Amino acid sequence: MIVISGIIRLIQELRAKSTAEQLDRLIHEKVTVRRNGELREIPGEELVVGNLILFSAGDRVPADIRLTKVTDLFISQAAITGESAILEKSCRTLCYKEQEPITQLENLVFMATTVISGKGEGIVLAVGRDTLYGGFTKPNSEDKNAFQKGANSIAWVMIRFMAVLVPIVFLILGITGGKWLESFAFALSVAVGLMPEMLPMVITACLAKGSLAMGKKQTIIKDLNAMQSFGRMDVLCMDKTGTLTNESVLLEYYMDILGNENTDVLDLAYLNSSYHSGVRNPIDNAILACKSMPGREIHYAKLLTEYQKEDEIPFDYTRKFVSTLVQDSTGNSHLIMKGDIAHILSRCSHVEYRGTRLPMEKDARQSVFCVVGEMLQDGMKVIAVARKQVGRRKKITPDDEKDMTLVGYLSFFDAPKQPAGESVTALKRLKVIPKILTGDQTAIALSVCRRVGISAEHILTGTQLDEMTDCELKKVVEETHVFAELTPGQKVRLVSALKENGHTVGFLGDGVNDIPALNEANVWISVDTAVDATKDAADVVLLQKDLNVLEQGVLEGRKTFTNMLKYIKITASSNFGNIFSIICASAFLVLCQDLVQVKMRFSSS
């Protein structure tokens, strides 16, 4: 039995290793280093102290690095500090009068942080466990070890049985037989017999087999122990883009402030998206696709020649817009902003209509939503574009992002996927409650959720969430399934509230803004099209960003966990019955031997 158990375990572990190698090829991290004046790509594990490394937007920083060269570099340190704030980094030599926290030093970047925008170059100071991140305990280690907790609880039950049964067996056999050494050995054998001998092999085999089966269903399990949490997940938090709606969006309208078609608005947005050095998103891709419109290729090529980038402030999930500074052929600089309507509107003091700059009226917000309100209700995504002339400036700061001139709007079509409604129904049938956590406007989220069957009777915005106490949020989060206009930090707070209510929470994310919420969830789920930093953080990687794939994964996870429980219950009860019978028989046989000896003595006398 032991030999068979070992062989089965070896085969299953070899198969699990093969699956893990396939995943490594999917998300294997390579880094760019400069050696002997040449750029080379090497695996992240080959990085050593002293290497000169280069990185850019969307990369996950692979080591602790002293910066030597930067270009508009902005970093998210959520993996280190837990805060969603984005910090700008520089390469200048620092001199502080007072001691500063190491995470606040602007010429250092740390392992596991994420490059939001720009690019940088620096010297590796520490790798692996010697880094700041390497010295931390993995976030939510208690939650991530839920399977080990379950296995430990089974072991403790067995130990309690042994603690009670072994002394009783020892005393009964010792008193009746008088052979205390043999009684002790027999008591120990009883303790060994209680334990299901193939339990380790069965657990490994079930997990490995489940992982392979999920791999065939477009789901790869990076951490086998996450299977248990995946199977008992009862709440799934996710963004709507790419999950309920298509991965890409289409630019439908480019309008002035009154809703009339205006190519100047599109030109400004094109310059902003072209020179934005952050991670590309569906909005930027849709805008940049305009260069392929018939007869417009030369126009956009000439536009990029006439306007050169000088500086930028990248997209921030709190500010919800991106600013780019460009200089025209005459040397004048223009600040171009595009992003969330409400946030840009709050920074505008004028509007532009047919080339004329006019003061903004007091009821400007109402006027704006009269123009775009119907499109938002139809589920279209609408962003605003604003501009400002800033003389011959070469640099911009957040203080420059005011007194802007509102130029117009861009509208994008973000249609729900055809099977999204069926997938949501299937998840509900599995008792998994889908909750939408999105940064989009309320009207868009409301429209899409209604189309796919997610209850939108109650909807909570980020502003409303900030006004609630933790106790109030724990109650509201049970009744609400759609949350809109959220920042990464607010997503973390929602996931935490659900966990405190006793739910096993899964989070499906694909962007750098999802990493803080992923770290907070019980089950970290990502997709193969996600940024490297998100895939690296996830326990489960979906090869398709489709809820149908997720449904199959949940079913397989539950089947795997149920099989393990069945084996444990059957073998534990069977072993206990067998051992109990042996104990009773052994005590009875000792008593019978004593009676036989007495009878023989009487017979001989």
Catalytic residue IDs: 239
Which residues neighbour 181 within 8 Å (Cβ) at sequence distance 6 or greater?
Answer: none
CA 397 to chain centre: 31
User: 63 near 53, Cβ under 8 Å?
Assistant: yes
| Nearest C-alpha neighbor of 226 from the set 521, 563, 534 | 521
CA 251 to chain centre: 28
**How many other C-beta atoms can be found within 10 angstroms of the C-beta atom of residue 566?**
12
Q: Which amino acid is at 178?
A: G
Please give the backbone phi and psi of residue 406, each rounded to the nearest 5 degrees, phi first.
-70, 125
- 250 pairs with which residues across the strands? 413
- Report the first-to-last Cα separation within the chain, whole angstroms: 51
Scored b (16 or more CB within 10 A) or e, 304-331 reads eeebebbbbbbbbbebbbbbbbbbeeee
Return d(Cα 313, Cα 490) in angstroms, integer.
Answer: 22
- Residue 271 token pair: 């310059």
CA 200 to chain centre: 30
Return d(Cα 384, Cα 269) in angstroms, integer.
Answer: 9
Crossing angle, helix 547-604 and helix 180-194, to 10 degrees?
A: 160
List Cα–Cα distances, 364 to 340, 345, 371, 604, in angstroms: 15, 8, 11, 119
The SS3 of residue 258 is coil
| Nearest C-alpha neighbor of 27 from the set 380, 491, 528 | 528
- Residue 522 token pair: 């019980």
Return d(Cα 262, Cα 246) in angstroms, integer.
Answer: 27
- 295 pairs with which residues across the strands? none
- 115 pairs with which residues across the strands? 75
DSSP string, 6-50: HHHHHHHHHHHHHHHHHHHHHH--EEEEEETTEEEEEEGGG--TT
Q: Where are the beta strands (DSSP E) in 478-537?
A: 482-484, 505-508, 523-527
- 75 pairs with which residues across the strands? 87, 115
